[in-house]
């Protein structure tokens, strides 16, 4: 059973409100389900909206994997129950992947892609069996899906990417995927 859900997402406070609403809904579901959120620990953007959702559900099951620079800048969320400090982004990715049972990618920028593709790359060569669910809120990941489909069509991938890169358009689809997975 999936217990620890790692989430990669934006720390930006400049997004369309739908993204914050959906991130909070995911957090609420994680909290209400008794699962644990594992994320980057920042007190801004989708990260904070999601952590607030867990807290609003009455849960403290939040693990923040926080780079030292965020700690020094006092940008760490107050919603974190367990803090794992890291030196930088490389060890943050390692901890996020290590602690999580499954990873979910919400809308994000290059950091989100870096984190997700690290997991994907490790799976593609057999170093991991973890899956990444791309939650396509408001069509955010459509361009990425097109690129992945083109990669599939050209045959550059040795392993079927759809086995470990999963796609969801709604929270309900994310939940269904998580509930069907085993570790």
Q: What is the CATH number of the domain that holds 88?
A: 3.40.50.450
Q: Could you tell me where the beta strands, DSSP code E, fall in the chain?
A: 4-8, 36-39, 62-67, 82-86, 102-105, 132-135, 165-168
Q: What does R_g of the chain's alpha carbons equal in angstroms?
A: 15
pLDDT, one tens digit per residue, over 2-25 is: 999 999 999 999 999 999 999 999
Residue 104 lies in a domain: yes
Nearest C-alpha neighbor of 28 from the set 3, 55, 7: 55
Residue 9 lies in a domain: yes
Residue 183 lies in a domain: no
Q: Quick one: tokens of 138?
A: 């408001």
Count of structural domains, the chain = 1
pLDDT, one tens digit per residue, over 114-164 is: 999 999 999 999 999 999 999 999 999 999 999 999 999 999 988 889 999
Contacts of 74 (CB under 8 A, 6+ apart): none
Residue 116 lies in a domain: yes
Q: 157-175 in b/e burial notation, b at 16+ Cβ within 10 A?
A: eeeebeebbbbbeebeebe
Are 109 and 12 in contact by the 8 Å Cβ rule? The answer is yes
Q: How many residues does the chain have?
A: 183
What distance in Å separates the CA atoms of residue 96 and residue 84, rounded to the nearest whole number?
10
pTM over 0.85? The answer is: yes
| Structural domain span for residue 168 | 4-175
């Amino acid at each position: 059973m999936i217990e620890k859900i790692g989430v990669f997402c934006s720390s930006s406070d400049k997004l369309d409100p739908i993204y914050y609403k959906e991130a909070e809904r995911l957090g609420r579901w994680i909290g209400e389900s008794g699962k644990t959120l594992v994320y980057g620990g920042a007190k801004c953007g989708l990260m904070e909206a999601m952590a607030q959702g867990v807290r609003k559900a009455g849960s403290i099951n939040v693990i923040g994997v926080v780079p030292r620079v965020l700690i020094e800048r006092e940008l760490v969320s107050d919603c974190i129950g367990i803090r794992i400090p890291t030196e930088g982004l490389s060890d943050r990715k390692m901890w996020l992947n290590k602690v999580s049972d499954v990873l979910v990618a919400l809308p994000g920028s290059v950091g989100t892609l870096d984190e997700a593709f690290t997991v994907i790359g490790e799976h593609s060569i057999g170093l991991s069996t973890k899956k990444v669910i791309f939650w396509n809120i408001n069509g955010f990941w459509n361009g990425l899906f097109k690129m992945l489909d083109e990669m599939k069509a050209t045959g550059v991938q040795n392993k079927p990417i759809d086995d470990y890169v999963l796609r969801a358009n709604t929270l309900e689809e994310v939940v269904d995927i998580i509930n069907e997975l085993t570790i």
